[in-house]
Structure 1
Amino acid sequence: MFKTTKMKLIELMILRQDIDRVLEYLGKTANFQIQNETELPADSAHNPHRAMFDQLQSCRSFLKLPDVSSWSDDSSLPGDSDYASAQDILAAVEDMRRRENEAGDRQKRIRSAWDEAKAFANLKVAYSELEHLTFLSMRIGKIDPSIFEELRFSVGDRAVIVSLGADNSRILAAASKKGRFALDSELKKFGFIALEVPKDFKGVPDDVLEGLQKQSEEADRELADLSAQRDRYADAHAEQLRRLLESFSLGAQVSRIRESLEATQLVYRIMGWIAASDCSQVMRDLDNLTEGRIAIRTYEPGEVPSVKNGHEKVPVQYRHNAFVKSFERMIFSYGAPLYGTVDPTPVVAFFFTLLFGIMFGDVGQGLVFFLIGLLMISKKAKVLKNWNNFGPIFVAIGCSSMVMGLLTGEFFANSEVLRPFSRFVTGLFGEPRDHILHMMPSKDSLGKLIVFFGFTVAVGFIINSVGLIINIVNQFSLGKPAHAVFSKTGVCGAFFFWYVASFVIRVLLGGVGFSWFDIVGIAIPLIGIFFAEPFTRLFEGHRPVFENGLFSAVIEGIVEILEVVSTYISNSVSFLRVGAFALSHAVLSFIIFTMSDLVGGSLSAGGIAIGIFGNAIIIILEGLIVAIQVIRLQYYEFFSKFFTETGREFKPFRFKYTD
């Protein structure tokens, strides 16, 4: 078992001229958690780096360039040359934006005029002549084209609605003189906007239409040319803009952190936690960076007053290989362990992989998980980029599923493909069989299934026991020997659990029944648990021993005993679900295999379709359910043994690209 990484508190006294470079170094190395940080000020005009970053982001958006997705190694704080380059880009983009806006407005005016002209091109009679008709009342104007048909339906036979253009946006409405008020009311409901038409207007000459069309085409070409210029500028300056965005983003964050630190007119003070193994290197780097203009002092956790009096918890960090590290989020999502306690991550990694494989045994389906894991690790699939850290987990559960699949003889829910392998292996130890481990219920396999369920309970016993041992070690490490001995998850609880388990095994194997020494073996740990609170106060020197009186202590003891018995029974029985899910997986695979046979076999078109669909359902839905069940077993049966108090996760100061 490994413990949490040893930490140290560092105090840095930095001159104003060096503070930005020191913060840049700390943010890039990402191994220093700032301790004396005050509330960060909001970004404002006092942060010119942030203002410039926002303007550059606007330029990037205008140039239609993708945003920065990851930091490059050459990113650094912005200097005078960077500001000059940024100003050049801002000026160029602003000029392009202005010219495009002007061209766009010009195009809209010309297109609107052309649309108006086309709408009235077929009006060859003077409007005044139409208006003087004694039996007709006419209106010319604009409406929303999408409601043209609805307007025609609404007015019905009371008026005639004629489209003046191809897009139905301009209409001529005619009704009898008596019906003009009803027509006006109906047009108003549909948002009709009347157009002023000169009395002598007779339509639009063809040469005017051709001229407007030509101007519209020229405006389109002008906009296209400007768009091409923008694309060429974007291609030529993409790399420079990316570098500037990174630089000013970094500068904005350094400015924000700097403003949150304690400072005098000349000196800044930074305090923070760092892994003890990194301490010497960081001190050397900072000394070289500032050319000796820095004062550094280190403290052990026990020397920090706030830690000694319990007001502050030392942050917890782990150092793992890639496989174990991928399980860290499972630990911290439940809670951070206390500093100086046992690191449970390797245990979680092992048992998660084991339990998943037991419940999800199939060589083909496990191979899918394995390949997905390799794809995540390679970081080549963009759709999985947010899951790349979990690649080792998928590789591990894929391997465990394939191993279990070899035992059960399943390959993509087909129980015949691996039959030669199973007969070969079983033949080495006796009579050849179709399956090394037959999971489908039958008269012949019932006894083996009972043994298998017993095996899952035994795995649960081991997991529970490891959790108890971790808690006992943790309590002794934290200087709480009384809690380590008398608590329900301490020595007394563990001894009771182990003794009862050994007693049950002895009875099942046909050994000696209940005897007087069993009473002693069970009673002694229960007495310790019954009086856990008084014993703890006695050994820790607290008085009175019975803080709330003897009667209250007895009631608390009874409750503790009932809780211990019920908890250990439920913790053990809970692992039967491992066997139940393994059995349900086998049954689902059998159903898919049977359905394939009913439609012509696994190699027929119908069989292939059922095989693909069925395996996809199992991989996605059952895989998700099994993962949830394994996490549940870890949380409730394992973590609950030693997560009696949560600590504080180590969160180092690091730069994060902001948009």
Structure 2
Amino acid sequence: MAIVKMNKFTLLSFESEKEKLLSALQRFQGVQFINLQEVDDLNEDDDKKELWKDEVGEKYSIYEDNLMKIKFSLDFINEFFPEKKSMLSMLDDKKEISLRDLEENIKSNNWNQVYEELKLKERTLNELNNEITKIEGEISELSGWRNLDVSTSELVKFKYCTAVLGTVAKQYESSVLADLERELKYSYIEIINKDNQDLYLLIVVHNSELKNADEILKGYGFTSFEVDIDMPPHHCIDENASRISKIKEEKKSLKASIEKYEADRDKLIEVYEYFTNLVTRLEASNNFLKTKSVIAMCGWNLVENNNELIKVIEETVGEKYFIEFEEVKEEEVEEVPIKLRNNGFTSSFEGVIEMYSLPKYSEIDPTPILSIFYFIFFGMMLSDAGYGLVIIAAAAFALYKSKDKEKRKSYKMFLFAGISTVIWGAIYGGWFGDLPSYFGIVPPKLLDSTGDISKIFILSLGFGVIHIFIGLGIKGYMLIKAGNIKDAIYDVLTWYVTLIGAFLAILSIGGKLGIIMLVVGLVGLVVTQGRTAPTIGGKIGWGIYGVYGITGYLGDIVSYSRLLALGLATGFIANALNLIISLFPAPFKYIAAPFLFIGLHTFNLLINALGSYVHAARLQYLEFFSKFYEGGGKKFTPYKLSDKYIKITK
């Protein structure tokens, strides 16, 4: 139960063997490359270099282009025919296929033809959409002139007159009409249409008065309408609407024709994973250095896999390689990737650690201790055995459905959380609140959540003290392990003496022992907490300030009262829901009660389970980790086969 031991390897081989090596290491899935190209002295002139940066190669752009085409095809199919998934589909594992079968399937995969056909359909759809947009623009332009019962082409045939079509702002209606009638003696003015903003006018004016008419209209911001159509606008609008209907039918038919490509989705997914593997393989070269004939690789791998790694290399390139393994150096601790390994119970809670931060390689894995307290705290905060049984059933079903290792870790965590909830629910006597009492049943209980609040409060603080003391103990262990025995005494033992003395004095246990320990501890803190200050005054000042840290410990301990608060909240809300349901009058109660019970208690379960999940983690992150844990480790992410859509096995 710890951080898996890593070492660094350096691998040299002929460049001609690189592709085979990368393929074999990708199947091995056990190395994480280090980027050698970040070395500063590689920026010298080419004629002075002995090492060059490796490159992805010419095929990279081809593979990337293929990936873009395949992604387009998948997205295009999913746009019109999304993959149908049930509510339980999140429990389904990815389809598995061996690398050998995948490579065989690719040989007969007609993905490129599918892409070309789908691309043609996309172009056609775009053209149809553009045509609709264009026609709708024409309709919009003509809509205000629908009442005009003559084509614009007819209006240009007058010999001695000129017909003018256009709009002015509606607010000028009375004034523009008055000015036109007053100034023009030989004219015809007709209001074709009105809307909220504009006045649509037809003005037929004698050519001798045309200039005068233009001056009047210009003063009112007249906008002329100069569309040339050979039929009345309403006929043109109706014809365009008919054209849009036909285009939409064509689009509908075209979309229906895409349905047959649903059968190609799995083939496209397979080829996507295939080319992703090839791209990943080529991108790995961005980490390497080379000479004219030799390629240099460097990376991290598990110490226990050293022999297996050598075996893989030998099976691939024979004796055409050199490999060297190095233990982790002190200056490399920050860069070592982290892989955790714990037993079945503890590993279920690794996700809680990852949400915060993985430990550094020089730290210890806090998961074993965290898992115990998270198990206790979650159940104590949810604290209803009925809800616990529901969680157990849901988690057990998820575990039955899923074989994926990472998913199973999360499901197992909730299974254990459900077990803890049942235990604490039985201790408090809560089974869907006080539901048994409505049937004349009084379940046994060790603690009464309504009458033993003070006891539960003390129990919560007791868990807090134990939790924090263990955190301090881990800090002391880490300091002693690093050879800093004095720091362990100054920063851990003094706090143990101070806090234990304070508890004994407050609880009046052990006579004067508590007072003595408290005084000794406080003096020790004053003397030691400012030891790094350069002056005596600074040492004393920082020492006194260090004593102030006791308030932080007291605040941390009080923070564990949330174990009481959330546990009571779950129970009281459940009791209130049962009361609400019981108040419904008969016979409606007997009909509605089952539905109300399921709905209301499901809501209560979800809300309080979320609260328990968050606050159980919070107690670890703020109160526990702050005593010893730094974190900042980077997860071990080996160079491996792609698994975005399907899982490829060796």
Could you tell me how far 1:324 is from its partner in structure 2?
Answer: 3.0
* Counterpart secondary structure, 2:7: strand
Question: Which residue matches 1:542?
Answer: none
Q: 2:68 aligns with which of 54, 72, 76?
A: 54
Separation in 1, partners of 2:612, 2:386: 17
Residues 63 and 333 (structure 1 numbering): CA distance in 2 closer, same or farther, change over 3 Å? closer
* Counterpart secondary structure, 1:339: coil
Question: Which residue matches 1:548?
Answer: 534
Could you tell me how far 1:639 is from its partner in structure 2?
Answer: 0.9
Question: Which residue matches 2:273?
Answer: 246
Question: Which residue matches 1:145?
Answer: none
Q: Is the 8 A contact 1:357 1:401 kept in 2?
A: yes
* 5+ long unaligned stretches in structure 1: 142-149, 164-170, 302-306, 426-434, 536-545
Q: Is the 8 A contact 1:249 1:658 kept in 2?
A: no
Matched, 1:580 2:584: no
Q: Is the 8 A contact 1:78 1:251 kept in 2?
A: no
Letter in 1 for 2:423: V
Separation in 1, partners of 2:439, 2:248: 70
Separation in 2, partners of 1:75, 1:66: 27
Question: Which residue matches 1:413?
Answer: 433
Could you tell me how far 1:345 is from its partner in structure 2?
Answer: 0.7
Separation in 2, partners of 1:227, 1:654: 38
Structure 1 window deviating more from structure 2 (35-44 vs 568-577): it is 35-44
Q: Is the 8 A contact 2:152 2:227 kept in 1?
A: no
Question: Which residue matches 2:367?
Answer: 345
Q: Is the 8 A contact 2:500 2:518 kept in 1?
A: no
Alignment of 1:487-566 (within 5 A): 487=491, 490-502=492-504, 504-505=506-507, 507=508, 512-514=510-512, 517-532=513-528, 548-563=534-549, 565-566=550-551
Could you tell me how far 1:452 is from its partner in structure 2?
Answer: 2.0
Q: 2:386 aligns with which of 339, 364, 373?
A: 364
TM norm structure 1: 0.72
Separation in 2, partners of 1:240, 1:137: 65
Question: Which residue matches 2:5?
Answer: 6
Separation in 2, partners of 1:284, 1:421: 66
Residues 323 and 185 (structure 1 numbering): CA distance in 2 closer, same or farther, change over 3 Å? farther
Residues 584 and 223 (structure 1 numbering): CA distance in 2 closer, same or farther, change over 3 Å? closer
Could you tell me how far 1:473 is from its partner in structure 2?
Answer: 1.9
* Counterpart secondary structure, 2:534: coil
TM norm structure 2: 0.73
Q: Is the 8 A contact 1:3 1:341 kept in 2?
A: no
Letter in 1 for 2:528: A
Question: Which residue matches 1:269?
Answer: 296
Residues 501 and 610 (structure 1 numbering): CA distance in 2 closer, same or farther, change over 3 Å? same
Matched, 1:476 2:480: yes
Q: Give identity over the alignment, percent.
A: 17
Letter in 1 for 2:485: P
Separation in 2, partners of 1:180, 1:379: 81
Could you tell me how far 1:45 is from its partner in structure 2?
Answer: 8.8
Structure 1 window deviating more from structure 2 (631-640 vs 288-297): it is 288-297
Separation in 1, partners of 2:585, 2:164: 74
Residues 122 and 418 (structure 1 numbering): CA distance in 2 closer, same or farther, change over 3 Å? same
Q: Is the 8 A contact 2:192 2:200 kept in 1?
A: yes
* Counterpart secondary structure, 2:436: coil
Structure 1 window deviating more from structure 2 (364-373 vs 354-363): it is 364-373
Residues 104 and 647 (structure 1 numbering): CA distance in 2 closer, same or farther, change over 3 Å? closer
Q: Is the 8 A contact 1:43 1:50 kept in 2?
A: no
- Per-residue deviation, residues 443-469 of structure 1 (Å, max 9, x unmatched): xx2xx3222221112211221222122
Structure 1 window deviating more from structure 2 (131-140 vs 642-651): it is 131-140
Higher relative contact order (CA 8 A, sep 6+): 2
- Per-residue deviation, residues 369-412 of structure 1 (Å, max 9, x unmatched): 334434654668xxxx9987632232222222232223333333
* Counterpart secondary structure, 1:10: strand
Residues 313 and 479 (structure 1 numbering): CA distance in 2 closer, same or farther, change over 3 Å? farther
Residues 245 and 151 (structure 1 numbering): CA distance in 2 closer, same or farther, change over 3 Å? farther
Matched, 1:438 2:465: no
* Counterpart secondary structure, 2:11: strand
Separation in 1, partners of 2:439, 2:533: 68
Separation in 1, partners of 2:496, 2:264: 67
* Counterpart secondary structure, 1:298: strand
Q: How many residues are paired up? A: 595
Question: Which residue matches 2:165?
Answer: 139
Could you tell me how far 1:135 is from its partner in structure 2?
Answer: 12
Residues 353 and 308 (structure 1 numbering): CA distance in 2 closer, same or farther, change over 3 Å? closer
Q: Is the 8 A contact 2:388 2:419 kept in 1?
A: yes
Could you tell me how far 1:227 is from its partner in structure 2?
Answer: 4.7
* Counterpart secondary structure, 1:416: helix
Matched, 1:652 2:638: yes
Alignment of 1:230-241 (within 5 A): 230-232=258-260, 234-235=261-262, 237-241=264-268
Could you tell me how far 1:438 is from its partner in structure 2?
Answer: 1.9
Letter in 2 for 1:405: G
Q: 1:287 aligns with which of 302, 305, 314?
A: 314
* Counterpart secondary structure, 1:343: coil
Question: Which residue matches 2:618?
Answer: 632
Q: Is the 8 A contact 2:436 2:442 kept in 1?
A: no
Letter in 2 for 1:561: V
Separation in 1, partners of 2:155, 2:62: 68
Residues 646 and 244 (structure 1 numbering): CA distance in 2 closer, same or farther, change over 3 Å? closer
Considering only aligned residues, what root-mean-square deviation do their CA atoms show, in Å?
A: 5.2
Letter in 2 for 1:461: V
Separation in 2, partners of 1:96, 1:184: 49
Q: Is the 8 A contact 1:131 1:138 kept in 2?
A: no
Separation in 2, partners of 1:43, 1:612: 60
Structure 1 window deviating more from structure 2 (521-530 vs 288-297): it is 521-530
Q: Is the 8 A contact 2:32 2:300 kept in 1?
A: yes
Separation in 1, partners of 2:609, 2:253: 54
Residues 342 and 109 (structure 1 numbering): CA distance in 2 closer, same or farther, change over 3 Å? closer
Could you tell me how far 1:363 is from its partner in structure 2?
Answer: 2.8
Q: Is the 8 A contact 2:7 2:302 kept in 1?
A: yes
Q: Is the 8 A contact 2:28 2:312 kept in 1?
A: no
- Per-residue deviation, residues 165-187 of structure 1 (Å, max 9, x unmatched): xxxxxx98546869999989999
* Counterpart secondary structure, 2:341: coil
Could you tell me how far 1:155 is from its partner in structure 2?
Answer: 6.3
Could you tell me how far 1:635 is from its partner in structure 2?
Answer: 1.6
Residues 314 and 577 (structure 1 numbering): CA distance in 2 closer, same or farther, change over 3 Å? same
Residues 120 and 27 (structure 1 numbering): CA distance in 2 closer, same or farther, change over 3 Å? same
Residues 629 and 225 (structure 1 numbering): CA distance in 2 closer, same or farther, change over 3 Å? closer
Residues 626 and 180 (structure 1 numbering): CA distance in 2 closer, same or farther, change over 3 Å? farther
Matched, 1:315 2:337: yes
Could you tell me how far 1:122 is from its partner in structure 2?
Answer: 10
Could you tell me how far 1:553 is from its partner in structure 2?
Answer: 2.0
Residues 44 and 155 (structure 1 numbering): CA distance in 2 closer, same or farther, change over 3 Å? farther
Matched, 1:328 2:359: no
Residues 480 and 655 (structure 1 numbering): CA distance in 2 closer, same or farther, change over 3 Å? farther
Question: Which residue matches 1:31?
Answer: 30
Letter in 2 for 1:595: I
Separation in 1, partners of 2:25, 2:438: 55
Separation in 1, partners of 2:633, 2:297: 23
* 5+ long unaligned stretches in structure 2: 39-53, 85-92, 178-189, 206-211, 646-650
Alignment of 1:11-22 (within 5 A): 11-22=10-21
* Counterpart secondary structure, 1:47: helix
- Per-residue deviation, residues 606-627 of structure 1 (Å, max 9, x unmatched): 7667655643553343333333
Could you tell me how far 1:67 is from its partner in structure 2?
Answer: 9.2
Residues 73 and 37 (structure 1 numbering): CA distance in 2 closer, same or farther, change over 3 Å? farther
Residues 355 and 183 (structure 1 numbering): CA distance in 2 closer, same or farther, change over 3 Å? farther
Separation in 1, partners of 2:266, 2:105: 19
Alignment of 1:204-215 (within 5 A): none
* Counterpart secondary structure, 2:325: strand
Q: Is the 8 A contact 1:341 1:477 kept in 2?
A: no
